[in-house]
Amino acid sequence: MNLNSQATLTTQLHHRSIRAFTEQAVTAEICDALLAAASSGATSNFLQSTHIIRITDKHKRQQLREVCANQAYVESAPEFWVFVLDVARHSMLVENIQTDWAEVGIMGAIDAGIMAQNVLLAAESLGLGGVYIGALRNDMVKAAEILALPEKTVPLFGMCLGYPAQNPNMKPKLPTALFVSENTYQVQDLNAVAAYEAQVKAYYVERGAEPATWQDAIAKTLCKPVRPHMLPFLQQQGLFKR
């Protein structure tokens, strides 16, 4: 395999979510490289509790687009992968395992996040772009039905991948002063928050959007019930019962 990739740190520091893609297909060689990167990440207790489902069926793509808030790129991206928390295969291999503890589900979700970020970083290093699709959790029952998921599995999120057909500006992220402490948790510096919010507002204005802030994003997501259907579904699947 001879794939030219960018330096890791350069790739990480230039991450942007890509939602528009060219029609260029992602080759089997590149898909294999991305999957190799996926399996190379750290995993809790060597459990390897993630399953990737690559969606190539057009009808399933359309169905999943409907689940995912009708985001068009779920259907149009050259690649759409679903990351699944999977302890079903563990139950097939070892009898009487206790997968209903919350810790098991948390380990599986962490594993999936590490694996997915490895995939996206590898993809970006090879000139591709992508975006996470958390809206897959809008209707987990329907997503599980489409994907024929067994008990002890959970569809966590999707990922669109392909060659970028857009060049968006980088969204300002929190400065280190707002998320790094030494030895103990430290309260945020409100002056630093204000300076950051000014950057975020400028970013949205530059995009021609209504001015918005990080605090607006917090309020939009967290000042209401957040997918209350999730816990019943997780427990129905045999997870997070204790």
Which pLDDT tens digit goes with each residue over 154-170?
A: 999 999 999 999 999 99
Mean pLDDT of 188-200: 92
Number of domains in the chain: 2
207 and 218 inside one domain? yes
State which residues form the domain around 181. Answer: 171-226
- Give the per-residue pLDDT at 3: 78
47 and 125 inside one domain? yes
pLDDT band at 188 (very low <50, low <70, confident <90, very high): confident
Q: Tell me how far apart the alpha carbons of residues 57 and 242 are, in angstroms, rounded to a whole number.
A: 37
- Which DSSP string do the residues of the chain spell out, in sequence order? -------HHHHHHT--B---B-SPPPPHHHHHHHHHHHHTS--GGG---EEEEE---HHHHHHHHHHTTT-HHHHHSSEEEEEEEE-HHHHHHSTT--TTSHHHHHHHHHHHHHHHHHHHHHHHHTT-EEEEEGGGGGGHHHHHHHTT--TTEEEEEEEEEE-BS--PPPPP---GGGT--SSS-----HHHHHHHHHHHHHHHHHTTSPP--HHHHHHHHHSS---TTHHHHHHHTT-S--
138 and 214 inside one domain? no
% of the chain exceeding 90 in pLDDT:
91
- Give the per-residue pLDDT at 6: 77
pTM: 0.95
What CA dihedral angle connects 50, 111, 114 and 136, to 10 degrees? Answer: 60
Res. 1: pLDDT tops 70: no
Residue 114 lies in a domain: yes
Q: Tell me how far apart the alpha carbons of residues 179 and 196 are, in angstroms, rounded to a whole number.
A: 12
CATH number for position 138: 3.40.109.10
70 and 125 inside one domain? yes
83 and 65 inside one domain? yes
Residue 242 lies in a domain: no
Mean pLDDT of 222-227: 97
pLDDT tens-place string over residues 116-126: 999 999 999 99
- Give the per-residue pLDDT at 76: 97
pLDDT band at 23 (very low <50, low <70, confident <90, very high): very high
- Give the per-residue pLDDT at 2: 63
Res. 4: pLDDT tops 70: yes
